[in-house]
Amino acid sequence: MRITRIVMFAGAAVGAVAVGGAAAPHHDAGGTVTGVITYTGTPPKMKPIDMSKEPTCAKQHATPVMTEGAVTGPGNTLADVVVYVSAGDQGGAQASTPVRYDQKGCQYLPHVAVMETGQPLEIYNDDETSHNIHPMPKLNSEWNKSQPPGTPPIQTSFDKAEFIPVKCNVHPWMHGYFAVLKTSHYTVSGPDGAFKLEGLPPGKYTLTAWHERFGTQTAEVTITGSETQTVKFVFRATPY
């Protein structure tokens, strides 16, 4: 047993050295991982939102906005899935560009906002109504601030990585997420379920795909140069 442990340790050390050699700047060159997020099973049906209690928002939408808990596309594809490097990232400079999050037409845009730990987040109210923005984290501290129309953006950031549900208590249909990650290598699947993660330096990575209702899926990839690899993530959807 003792010998096995040493062997394993040595293996890990060699791996670390091999990975550690690559310190390419993020998103410049490197490999690409693409794919399409799909599901099996039956996802819940998204329902039209009745915004009649907030006429200033209702009038911004020609057709009713649908709920966004599980947005699907043709061919059992799944949108709003965050795909990110959960292990193997070499790290880089702290992201300093603010992430923008909008409250517009009593919706959160985007539905899932991705940011790095410590990265500035700017929350805008583009509506003619007050919103209260209420992130409900478990690891970071929970707060709740009112933001009337025409007031400057709320500037904040989160120190600990987690997926934070966000709601507006005044408009109970408003639900969104802050995905706070320790990596700069992330992307979100589009309405057709497609994703593209670019600029991965050579190395071994664990990719995690996260969906707000259907949990997480992981995949291992090894990038050697500037190649493009395809990874499949299949979620098991349940209606409730």
Partner 1 sequence: MSIYSRLAALSGAGALLLAVGTTPVRAQESHIGTMTGHAAAGQKLYRRYCVGCHGPDGDGNGENAQWIDPKPRDFTAGLFKCRSTPTGSLPTDEDLFNAISRGFVTTNMPPWLPLPPQDRANLVAYVKTFSPRFATEKPGASITIPPEPAVTIDGILRGRATFQKLECWKCHGPTGKADGPSASTLTDSKDNPIRPYNFAAGLPRFMCGSTNADIYRDFMTGLDGSPMPSFADQLQPAEAWDLVHFLRTLQPLDTPEALIWKQWVATHGSELKPIGPDNGGM
CB contact set of 6 (below 8 Å; sequence gap of 6+): none
Task: Please identify which residue in 15, 41, 64, 148 interacts with partner 1, judged by CB under 8 A.
Answer: 148
The verdict on 161 binding partner 1 (CB under 8 A) reads no
Task: Please identify which residue in 24, 46, 58, 154 interacts with partner 1, judged by CB under 8 A.
Answer: 154
The verdict on 53 binding partner 1 (CB under 8 A) reads yes
221: phi then psi, degrees, rounded to nearest 5: -135, 150
CB of 124 to partner 1, least distance (A): 14
CB of 27 to partner 1, least distance (A): 32
Task: Please identify which residue in 151, 218, 222, 238 interacts with partner 1, judged by CB under 8 A.
Answer: 151
Sheet-wide strand order for 82-87? 186-188, 82-87, 203-211, 215-223
Going residue by residue from 105 to 134, which x/- string records binding to partner 1, judged by CB under 8 A? ------------------------xx-xxx
The verdict on 146 binding partner 1 (CB under 8 A) reads yes
The verdict on 67 binding partner 1 (CB under 8 A) reads no
CA distances from 4 to 1, 9, 10, 142 (A): 5, 8, 10, 45
The verdict on 142 binding partner 1 (CB under 8 A) reads yes
The verdict on 171 binding partner 1 (CB under 8 A) reads yes
The verdict on 232 binding partner 1 (CB under 8 A) reads no
> Burial of 236 by CB count in 10 Å (0-12 exposed, 13-18 middle, 19+ buried)?
exposed
Nearer to partner 1, 4 or 141 (CB): 141
Task: Please identify which residue in 48, 126, 136, 196 interacts with partner 1, judged by CB under 8 A.
Answer: 136
Nearer to partner 1, 86 or 125 (CB): 125
Distance, CA of 87 to CA of 220 (rounded, Å)? 9
CB contact set of 13 (below 8 Å; sequence gap of 6+): none
- Region of 17-25, 90-98, 166-174, 216-224 interacting with partner 1 (CB under 8 A): 166-174
Nearer to partner 1, 138 or 236 (CB): 138
Sequence-separated contacts (24+) of 43-52 with Cβ below 8 Å: 43/70, 43/72, 43/78, 43/213, 43/214, 43/237, 43/238, 43/239, 44/69, 44/70, 44/213, 44/239, 44/240, 45/239, 46/70, 46/71, 49/173, 50/173, 51/106, 51/171, 51/173
Residues in contact with partner 1 by the rule CB under 8 A: 53, 55, 129-130, 132-134, 136, 138, 141-148, 151, 154, 169-172
